[in-house]
Amino acid sequence: MEGYSSLNYKISTPNKNYVLKIYPFSQNLVSILEAENAVLKKLESLKAYDFPKVIYSHTRDELVIEGAFIYRLLSYVEGSLLAEVNQSSELLGSFGTFLGQINLTLRKLENQIIKGIETVWDLRHFSKNKDFVHYISDPKDRSLVNYFFLQYELNIRPHYYHLRCSIIHNDANDYNVLVHGNETSGIIDFGDMCYTWLINELAVALTYIMMNSDNPIKKALPLLQAYNNEIALEPLEIKVLYYLIAARLCTSVCNSAYTKRERSNSSYVTISEEGAWKLLKKWLTINPLKAEEEFAKACYLAPISIDSVTDLRLKRKKHLSESLSLSYSEPIEMYQSAFQYMYSRQGDTYLDAYNNIMLVGHSHPDLIAAANFSLGRLNTNTRYLYPELTTYSERLLAKFPQELNKVFFVNSGSAASDLAIRLARWHTKKEGVVGIEHGYHGNTSMGIAISHYKFKNNKNDLSNTKVATVPMPKIKESAEEKIKINGSYLAKQAIRQLEETKEEIAAFIAEPVMGCGGQVPLPPGYLEEIYTFIRACGGVCISDEVQVGFGRLGDSFWGFQQHDIIPDIVILGKPMGNGHPIGAVVTTSEISKTFESGPEFFSSFGGNPVSCAIGLSVLNIIEKEGLQKHAKEVGSFLINALLCLSKKYPEIYEVRGLGLFLGIEFITDKGGPNTELAKFIKEGLKEKHILTSTDGPHNNVLKIKPPLSFSKTDATLLVNSLDAIMQTKREK
């Protein structure tokens, strides 16, 4: 039988069975095997359990060295493998007691040889496995593993010297643990033994018994509780346990990936690979605080102390303006996040179907690594030369048609909108701006002035005589309506409205898919006709890609590409830095040249090295993980599922959008906007731990615009949850 460092043979005699182990010779390995034999002798004091016993040669040697090999004979430990029996709570409790007694015995043992062992399987040296990550073939899987490497550095590394240490077995997996009936009877394979953190023994054991479990935390508790009855765990050990389990899983998949490349026919190392990946992905859905709380309760430790949501709301009200709104009638206190998940301080895990800013996923490790390195090396401004600025500019502009070849960096989409209007007005020597009803372009004074969504609201009318607004060109996605009304028809209507003031128009600005308007895609032909008119008037055309850009729409990287047009100016923001404040304006050489004749442009933070490194990392992740294609595939899957649901519920007036930028519009039985139902569904989804929001002129459109790590499995959960909520509403 294959092992990591040995060949193993079962030797059967009429009276007894033995294990012959053959190792390649090295003097260092001889010392290690002698230390391992010392441990086996120490464990003989645990009479209730079976361990391999050293069998001496006829010359009374524990090890026999012949030529290039070391030979070692051990007794064969009888019993059933834990992996192959029903793992009842009683049996797992017995396993916990067994491990606790082993560790109590080994804590009394001092051995300098074992203390000197460093192995990639020792979680204290987890970082050694970083060298194997590149052997993992799927880039998304690599990102998942790298995320947990990051969490190790954040949550375990600071406690490196504060955790209790001991000699431990270090590989109490279910193929090494033996049972008789409903009791743990013994353990084999001490080849990974090391001197490390005591809690690692438990982390390894829990990892393997939780694999393939629908409720891994629940399954872990009997073992954890029984172990704690033997060796009382410390609060710090409980605190790091979630991350140590993740580290063991990552160690397993990293070594499996490496071994498959080096020894493609090996089954020994890869035996747990499928289960490890399954649990690692499941582990991401578990809030670390929830795991810590459950582990602490099992060990009779005090629960985590946190402020109540009510206390936080009162503090917020005291220090912040109430013009800053909160999502949901009962707001959520967020604590941590990972890819498409957000973790609340109260222990809940939320599937994020809403936060489009985190385009490549929350806490993406590649992005954080890029930010940390750049921040630790240089952060300055564009008055100096540095390669991050030029490298990122080149990569970003390569995503645009060749006409759009100049970029101005700022630190938000709002600042980009503001600058875009300045560029347009300076270039045209005009002041008029044309926007679309319910359009939103930022929170600066300029952004609000051109955003109908902001300046025309129920509280105030902040409209500006220099800003004209044309109706939102909304066409229901039905063949009948498209025959009667199309984008060209609606564009001509808008143009007629603008004829009287056309000489004053400096710019037309629009989102290719109107977010605050209710996720409304502009109809084919609309922008082409409007752009032609605006340019004939001497104005320029601005595409606001702040929400829809960077591949979210699936079919195209930018929204304007859906319409086979090229704008004069493009506004970027939000997902550009995946949550880091960065924005940009991309334009033509001609417009850029005109702007150079005016006051110097300077942004204190726009284009700084850190922002450029982060922006470049976002582009790299999109390409490496194929996120544009992923958005198209998952978006199409989700749209089809929602369309099927709409046939069941006439309250769903329309499912619309592109890629993973979707809207579901709800109506009443009389055909009016159903704001109340949209709110009910948003709140209902929150209760099912799915984050969404509502928007549109009547707030009756459910917005779905998740991080692009959102999967088909997530889409199915969303649709099934929506179905259940609507059914509940119908039955009331």
For 293-339, what is each residue's pLDDT tens digit?
A: 999 999 988 777 677 788 888 888 889 998 888 899 899 999 999 99
Across 612-622, average pLDDT: 98
148 and 264 co-located in one domain: yes
Q: What is the pLDDT of residues 330-375, one digit of tens each?
A: 999 999 999 999 999 999 999 999 999 999 999 999 999 999 999 9
Give the Cα separation of 277 and 146 in Å (integer): 14
Across 511-529, average pLDDT: 95
Give the Cα separation of 229 and 299 in Å (integer): 8
Across 651-660, average pLDDT: 96
Position 480 pLDDT exceeds 70:
no
CA distances from 189 to 39, 174, 192 (A): 12, 12, 8
Give the Cα separation of 703 and 678 in Å (integer): 10
**521 burial class (0-12, 13-18, 19+ CB within 10 angstroms)?**
buried
Position 6 pLDDT exceeds 90:
no
Q: Identify the CATH number of the domain in which residue 179 sits.
A: 3.90.1200.10
Q: Which of 78, 96, 115 is the C-terminal boundary of a domain?
A: 78
206 and 238 co-located in one domain: yes
Residue reference for tokens 């000489």: 503
Across 89-103, average pLDDT: 97
Residue reference for tokens 């060990």: 299
Beta carbons within 8 Å of 142's beta carbon, 6+ residues apart: 133, 134, 136
Q: For residue 303, tell me if it sits in a domain.
A: no
Q: For residue 493, tell me if it sits in a domain.
A: no
pLDDT on residue 474:
87
189 and 293 co-located in one domain: yes
384 and 514 co-located in one domain: yes
Give the Cα separation of 406 and 260 in Å (integer): 47
Q: Which two tokens stand for residue 348?
A: 């809940």
Higher pLDDT, 339 or 267: 339
651 and 641 co-located in one domain: yes
Describe the crossing of helices 235-262 and 273-284 by its angle, rounded to 10 degrees.
Answer: 140
Where residue 391 falls among pLDDT bands split at 50, 70, 90? very high
420 and 519 co-located in one domain: yes
Position 458 pLDDT exceeds 60:
no
Across 257-277, average pLDDT: 76
Read off the DSSP letter of residue 574: G
pLDDT on residue 314:
87
Residue reference for tokens 């709104």: 325
Across 221-235, average pLDDT: 97
Where residue 4 falls among pLDDT bands split at 50, 70, 90? low
Complete edge-to-edge strand list for the sheet that includes strand 661-666:
652-658, 661-666, 701-704, 693-695
Position 264 pLDDT exceeds 70:
no
Lowest mean pLDDT among 85-89, 279-283, 464-468, 490-494: 464-468
Give the Cα separation of 728 and 465 in Å (integer): 48
Q: Where do runs of H (alpha helix) occur along 320-386?
A: 365-377
Give the Cα separation of 279 and 212 in Å (integer): 7
Residue reference for tokens 């385009």: 359
Q: What mean pLDDT value characterizes the chain?
A: 93
574 and 673 co-located in one domain: no
Residues of the domain holding 349:
309-360+627-731
Q: Identify the CATH number of the domain in which residue 712 sits.
A: 3.90.1150.10
321 and 284 co-located in one domain: no
Q: For residue 450, tell me if it sits in a domain.
A: no
143 and 277 co-located in one domain: yes
Q: For residue 560, tell me if it sits in a domain.
A: yes
Position 478 pLDDT exceeds 60:
no
Q: What is the pLDDT of residues 171-211, one digit of tens each?
A: 999 999 999 999 999 999 999 999 999 999 999 999 999 99
517 and 583 co-located in one domain: yes
CA distances from 65 to 8, 60, 70, 218 (A): 16, 13, 5, 48
Q: Which amino acid is at 362?
A: H
Where residue 81 falls among pLDDT bands split at 50, 70, 90? very high
pLDDT on residue 269:
54
529 and 404 co-located in one domain: yes
User: In terms of DSSP bridges, do strands 505-510 and 540-544 run parallel, antiparallel, or are they unpaired?
Assistant: parallel
pLDDT on residue 3:
52
For residue 293, which of 303, 285, 284 has the smallest C-alpha distance? 303
Q: How many percent of the chain have pLDDT more than 70?
A: 95
**267 burial class (0-12, 13-18, 19+ CB within 10 angstroms)?**
exposed
Q: Identify the CATH number of the domain in which residue 393 sits.
A: 3.40.640.10
Q: Which of 583, 600, 624 is the C-terminal boundary of a domain?
A: 624
Q: For residue 530, tell me if it sits in a domain.
A: yes
CA angle 650-682-559, nearest 5°? 80
Q: What is the pLDDT of residues 557-580, one digit of tens each?
A: 999 999 999 999 999 999 999 999
Position 481 pLDDT exceeds 80:
no
Q: Which of 554, 589, 624 is the C-terminal boundary of a domain?
A: 624
58 and 119 co-located in one domain: no
Across 489-511, average pLDDT: 95
Domain count for the chain: 4
